[in-house]
Amino acid sequence: MVEKYNIKGGTPLRGEVNIGGAKNAVLKLMAASVLVKGATKIHNVPDLTDVEIMLSVIEQLGAKTRYNRSSKSIEIDASELTSVTAKYDLVSKMRASFIILGALVSRCREAVVALPGGCAIGERRVDFHIKGLEAMGAKIKIENGYVIAKAPKLAGCDIYLDIPSVGATENLMLAAVLADGCTRIQNAAREPEIIDLANFLNAMGADVIGAGTSDITINGVKQEDLHEIEYTTIPDRIEAGTFMTAVAATRGKAVLKNIFPAHLTFFTNKLLKMGANIKLISPTAIEVSCKSRLNTVNFVTQPYPGFPTDLQSMAMVLLSTANGVGIITESLYENRFMQVPELRRMGADIHQDRNHAIIKGVKKLNGTTLRASDLRAGASLVVAALMAEGSSIIENLYHIDRGYENFEQKITLLGGKIERFDSDITSSEDLKGVYNAGI
């Protein structure tokens, strides 16, 4: 049964919301758990379809898993692996699962991993992953859509990434953990999720230095040096940014709890310049509020610590009703303005010129039927619907479910009028009854 959102806009969001564990961190920790011949327990795991897919990938390798949703924890016992193959039917559903390549090559000295294929937000090639592994001594060929890697011996070396690719940095970190000697990754990605992965690896006995900088050093250790651990995932900075946007966009007031404010510095500064109010309540909580129409600022997406591409669609929603004209430059992906046609249908005044979007603020957006094209674009449409006049229907919720745990429940707790319903409710009279029926 296909599900959709029915959202009635115009209600300021107020109250408190707890931010979940970082999707982009926990998936990589799960892959890293394959390095240990033992059990690993990960806490603060969000209940997402992407997590389910990664569990299936790991289970295909022969590892045993247990997912306790009530305690938000996962146990992965990789004492014995019976396969080194990550099949296309799973890898094609989630690009992040390609990270298993580095872990398998590191531990098993061989791997057969499906190429992840295309992506709705643009081309995301794996050349840097493969070239880095080859520099460490892996012999790699691509056949029938699979990367086939064999590395009887992995040796540390210096690797320079042409761009600070997050996925390549993570894959090479995992491969280097059990390599002979020292591996140095230059121009490495600096995202908080990279730091979290390094902390996880070091907790299990690896030797990773410099995560969070552009120069990461991994001193290889022996298999017997790695041991079982328990670890808690960092909070999701993109989910936090989404709720910061939703509160400011609806001119509400809410406290976001269980976050790391330092991970949101760039976005926080932009919101402050636009006229939102943000207060530090505690080391892990902030209060966001907005009383009047925001002012425009310009945004340029950049690798961390710059403005995150995952919040670019949120910035566009804010600019759509702000005072003046703002420009967004998407410098990382060539096709990440997927939300533009849908926002235009709501009345937004947006002109797109290749990787630039020029947004002239209008007085209000109007509710309509919308379709999510990818994870972040879909979430931005939810925020747009919450701030719009009238009701909106949002389709393709499976995109949103990939990255937002209990999204509608959290919005409802803040007073937002959002309901999930089955697509067999088709008539306007049926939709009018959605709220009354409690569907």
Q: Are 9 and 387 in contact (CB under 8 A)?
A: yes
d(CA 345, CA 365): 9
Helix (H, G, I), strand (E, B) or coil at 91: helix
**157 CB neighbour count, 10 Å cutoff:** 16
- DSSP string computed for 148-207: EEE-SS-B--EEE-SS--HHHHHHHHHHHTTSBSEEEEET----HHHHHHHHHHHHTT-E
Given 108, 119, 182, 290, which residue is catalytic?
A: 119
Closest CA to 247 of 294, 278, 288: 288
Residues 6 or more apart whose CB falls under 8 angstroms from that of 269 comprise none
Bridging pattern class, strands 299-300 and 325-329: parallel
Is 119 considered catalytic here? yes
Closest CA to 123 of 334, 300, 302: 334
- DSSP string computed for 322-368: SBSEEEEE--S-TT--TTHHHHHHTT-EEEEETTEEEEE--S--B--
d(CA 7, CA 5): 6
d(CA 216, CA 110): 24
Q: Is 239 exposed, middle or buried (0-12, 13-18, 19+ CB in 10 A)?
A: buried
Q: Are 77 and 39 in contact (CB under 8 A)?
A: yes
Give the H or E element holding residue 417: strand 417-422
d(CA 340, CA 348): 9
What are the beta bridge partners of residue 213?
211
Give the catalytic positions in this structure: 119
